[in-house]
Amino acid sequence: MVLEETRVKSEHRRSAGVAAVPAAWWRTELIEGQPARDVVAARDIGAMLRFLRANGATVLGLSIATGLSETRVRAILSGAQRVTSYEVLERIATGLGIPRGVMGLAYIDDDQA
């Protein structure tokens, strides 16, 4: 059942305009001139969403992938809201394929596991 839900969410996310991002990408690439790993570790969700948006993700796709309303996604994109809830950070990490350790949501960094 969980595997089926994951597959359906993945297909729905792709059709909504959010491409799957390989987990390694979050450790090696740049977002707004900074290492993606640093942006993720700082939990700068706005920068992450702006980067994905600039690279073809839709607000609807980001909303579906993260489980946030489109209104909330727009507020985060504009900087009007910050994400501080652990539960929401977990949903974002899962939806965007961000390793939890890289985002500081695990006891150890995923590179050490």
Number of domains in the chain: 1
**Both tokens of residue 50?**
């702006």
List of E strands, 1-113: 30-31, 34-35
**Both tokens of residue 56?**
């073809």
Residue 77 structural domain: 2-96
Q: Give domain status of residue 106, yes or no.
A: no
**Both tokens of residue 57?**
């993700």
Q: Give domain status of residue 105, yes or no.
A: no
Give the span between the Cα atoms of 109 and 113, in whole angstroms.
Answer: 7
Contact 57, 48 (CB under 8 A): no
pTM as predicted = 0.75
Contact 100, 110 (CB under 8 A): yes
pLDDT digits (tens, 9 = 90+) for 32-67: 899 998 999 999 999 999 999 998 899 999 999 999
pLDDT digits (tens, 9 = 90+) for 93-102: 999 988 888 8
